[in-house]
Structure 1
């Protein structure tokens, strides 16, 4: 399903009503960790996989993180990133709340991060991680997902069903199971909640791009078949949830995304709004993650996430 066109209708929480009690628990458990500073230079969003000739990665092994020597950044690249940072500063100066973005343009190899120190609750973007962890567990047992598991995975991602996410959380072994899977996916800044409040897991924008890399890299511990399966679910989210990083693409772009949104009691009811996804638009393919919190309303958070997504990808497109 093509979801490049944005929609803001039905901007209500995507949780099923029967899980309100669980969400309330998650809200109380959410923790914010600082805001950090802007980082400028090549490799700020680091790939989750090394590009070392001849290296192979077997299923079940941790993927090493590829690092980039920022001292070799070309002057024109550095100037471009500084200019983009100033543009984001100008826009966000008038926006209540805090926003971070990480993006990787697979077509050019260029990366960019803004406010990389920000950590927010995942809310429902964690549902992609949960499905991937379930697939990794099934692969280890040399089996496909059952019909029931596939139905649960589809509900979790396509309609953001919280009961389905809770079932996935239990199936993978809760916090410890997610942490083990994330180690293999190359994540370094995601902390699963130790209880059952999966939405209270904290993450960074860069880690979400690393997770997206696990859906596009042939060196991922997930098979090509399973990677296509998850991206297919993300490309078929309910129309009323097709907002967020979809703003990165023009009309008709191929978008696979997952959003998360949650009012936080500890922030006085202010909203956490996140969006992650792969956007294929003309000559560019972006892996992009925007996380944010402390918005006065869900609609305000969606507007900020979409504006930041578009500012960043428009700037990258002009470079390539």
Structure 2
């Protein structure tokens, strides 16, 4: 039996004060609150959907900004979603899509990556190198990126134009679809390609291993890619996607955010969600074994036009 739970995520409205977003804590609730998206969870494991829904909602109860969440655990047939189709500027999250496109295109012509391509791919994922990403983006071209997106079923992802790959528009549904392709056999990516992507995501430098791995047990393998950028409208975009396997679970998490007053605020929001997800999947894990990300998270700051 699949258990389905819906509850409303309480994310406070915010107003701009001196260039920063601060929560509105007084006065009547805005009319839009009645139609705010809700965390929706289903699970083949009794009680898990309700617990995840309750804990994700609580983790977001005092956070401002717009947060989207996706979770899928193959082992327990569990999913959670919040704002699954809301669109965000990708920042460096798109780098996983760039690598997947490169490997998909190589598969079509039955070739291996060149030494140059391998070096660029490694720098792009493990260090979030922007120059390496731009080189591969120019090599592939938007047409090939769109070709991969169509093959992958990522129907609502829109590549950034004018060379601004960090402004690719993404959503949780498509990011979870991408993670699904990376973590299970399929006709789009070869087994070798999937293993290569996971290897690079597992070897991201320590300063960039924040976000979705926060709170994961030591028994779980952790694969992550993060991103952030700042614009004059809707503040900081801060995102994290991750794939995790071990301890009887095989799961992926995507958390996308914008409207953050600072980069660290967005990081903390993501990690609050990640910690409760890992805790609910591993309720008996010792606190001493849980992954604690760096307190000084870093990420490549993507160049974007003003506005």
Q: Normalising TM by the smaller chain, what interval?
A: 0.7 to 0.9
Q: Give 1:84's aligned residue.
A: 52
User: How many equivalent residue pairs?
Assistant: 250
Higher strand share: 2
What SS does the corresponding residue of 2:260 show, helix, strand or coil? coil
Q: Give 1:64's aligned residue.
A: none
Higher relative contact order (CA 8 A, sep 6+): 1
Structure 2: stretches of 5+ with no match in the other structure: 1-34, 285-307
Q: Does 1:222 align with 2:189?
A: yes
Out of 115, 119, 123, the position equivalent to 2:91 is: 123
Q: Give 1:40's aligned residue.
A: 40
Q: Give 2:3's aligned residue.
A: none
Q: Does 1:241 align with 2:211?
A: no
| Structure 2 CA distance for partners of 1:152 and 1:256, relative to 1, 3 Å | same
Give the distance between the partners of 2:155 and 2:38, measured in 1 at CA.
19
Structure 1: stretches of 5+ with no match in the other structure: 1-34, 43-72
Q: Does 1:138 align with 2:103?
A: no
Q: Give 1:291's aligned residue.
A: 256
TM-score normalised to the size of structure 1? 0.72
Output aligned runs, 1:18-167, within 5 Å: 37-38=37-38, 40=40, 42=42, 80-167=48-135
Q: Does 1:202 align with 2:169?
A: yes
What SS does the corresponding residue of 1:287 show, helix, strand or coil? strand
Do 2:176 and 2:254's aligned partners in 1 also have CA atoms closer than 8 Å?
yes
Do 2:98 and 2:137's aligned partners in 1 also have CA atoms closer than 8 Å?
yes
What SS does the corresponding residue of 2:92 show, helix, strand or coil? helix
Q: C-alpha deviations, 1:227-273, integer Å up to 9, x for none?
A: 10111011111110011111151135311110001112223xx2111
Q: Give 1:19's aligned residue.
A: none
What SS does the corresponding residue of 1:237 show, helix, strand or coil? coil
Give the distance between the partners of 1:93 and 1:156, measured in 2 at CA.
34
What SS does the corresponding residue of 1:266 show, helix, strand or coil? coil
Do 2:156 and 2:171's aligned partners in 1 also have CA atoms closer than 8 Å?
yes
TM-score normalised to the size of structure 2? 0.75
What SS does the corresponding residue of 1:194 show, helix, strand or coil? coil
Q: Give 1:312's aligned residue.
A: 277
| Structure 2 CA distance for partners of 1:36 and 1:217, relative to 1, 3 Å | farther
Do 1:248 and 1:279's aligned partners in 2 also have CA atoms closer than 8 Å?
no
Q: Give 2:237's aligned residue.
A: 272
Q: C-alpha deviations, 1:16-58, integer Å up to 9, x for none?
A: xxxxxxxxxxxxxxxxxxx97226354xxxxxxxxxxxxxxxx
Q: How far is 1:306 from its partner?
A: 0.9
Q: Does 1:181 align with 2:148?
A: yes
Do 2:241 and 2:253's aligned partners in 1 also have CA atoms closer than 8 Å?
yes
Do 1:99 and 1:118's aligned partners in 2 also have CA atoms closer than 8 Å?
no
Q: How far is 1:145 from its partner?
A: 0.4
Q: How far is 1:85 from its partner?
A: 3.1
Q: How far is 1:304 from its partner?
A: 0.8
Give the distance between the partners of 1:112 and 1:316, measured in 2 at CA.
12
Give the distance between the partners of 2:36 and 2:223, measured in 1 at CA.
28
Do 2:125 and 2:200's aligned partners in 1 also have CA atoms closer than 8 Å?
yes
Q: How far is 1:155 from its partner?
A: 0.7
Out of 136, 148, 153, the position equivalent to 1:168 is: 136
Q: How far is 1:191 from its partner?
A: 1.4
The Cα RMSD (Å) is 2.2
